[in-house]
């Protein structure tokens, strides 16, 4: 690893840090990873974890994404059922292909923010659903 920051053009030397706790936030979920070490640019703050820390950070980050997807999936399922729609009808409204909703609800695929926002709005204004079904 180069000891000069590759992220900014300052030419600054990366300085070592160890045993730090880093926090990752994703869609309102938070995870803290302890005991991380690596190097940090004193100018731009860019971090390069050492191999072991990078691996743990990536694993924790992946786990958080998965948890966020599952949680979003549960929310979409709850709202869809409340609206009295099956997955196919929900897929037609959101335009993601005939089994898109099944993949969202099981957490296999992350729905776009537009899909999540639409369902949150529909939960508050279920009467608008008829308008969408006619379109």
Question: Is position 54 an interface residue for Zn ion (rule: CB under 5 A)?
Answer: no
Number of residues that bind Zn ion (CB under 5 A): 7
Burial 76-90 (b: 16+ CB within 10 A, else e): bbebbeeeebebebb
Which CB sits closer to Zn ion, 39 or 101? Answer: 39
Nearest approach, Cβ of 35 to Zn ion (angstroms)? 24
Alpha-helical regions (H) of the chain: 51-82, 87-94, 100-105, 113-124, 128-134
Q: Which of 33, 36, 41, 47: binder of Zn ion (CB under 5 A)?
A: 41
Nearest approach, Cβ of 52 to Zn ion (angstroms)? 23
Token reading at 60: 């924790």
Question: Is position 66 an interface residue for Zn ion (rule: CB under 5 A)?
Answer: no
Question: Is position 44 an interface residue for Zn ion (rule: CB under 5 A)?
Answer: yes
Q: How far is CA 73 from CA 66, 96, 104, 111, 135, in A?
A: 10, 15, 5, 8, 25
Question: Is position 48 an interface residue for Zn ion (rule: CB under 5 A)?
Answer: no
Nearest approach, Cβ of 20 to Zn ion (angstroms)? 17
Question: Is position 58 an interface residue for Zn ion (rule: CB under 5 A)?
Answer: no
Which CB sits closer to Zn ion, 16 or 63? Answer: 16
* Residue 91: exposure state from Cβ atoms within 10 A (0-12, 13-18, ≥19): buried
Question: Is position 20 an interface residue for Zn ion (rule: CB under 5 A)?
Answer: no
Interface residues toward Zn ion, by CB under 5 A: 5, 7-8, 41, 43-44, 46
């Amino acid at each position: 690893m180069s000891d000069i920051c590759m992220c900014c053009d300052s030419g600054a030397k990366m300085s070592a840090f160890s045993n730090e706790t880093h926090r990752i936030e994703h869609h309102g979920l938070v995870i803290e990873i302890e005991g991380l070490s690596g190097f940090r640019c004193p100018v731009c703050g860019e971090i390069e974890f050492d191999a072991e820390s990078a691996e743990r950070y990536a694993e924790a980050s992946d786990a958080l994404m998965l948890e966020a997807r599952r949680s979003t999936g549960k929310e979409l399922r709850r709202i869809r059922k409340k609206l009295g729609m099956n997955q196919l009808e929900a897929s037609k409204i959101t335009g993601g292909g005939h089994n898109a909703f099944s993949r969202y609800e099981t957490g296999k695929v992350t729905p776009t923010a537009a899909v999540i926002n639409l369902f949150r709005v529909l939960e508050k204004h279920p009467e608008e659903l008829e308008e969408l079904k006619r379109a």
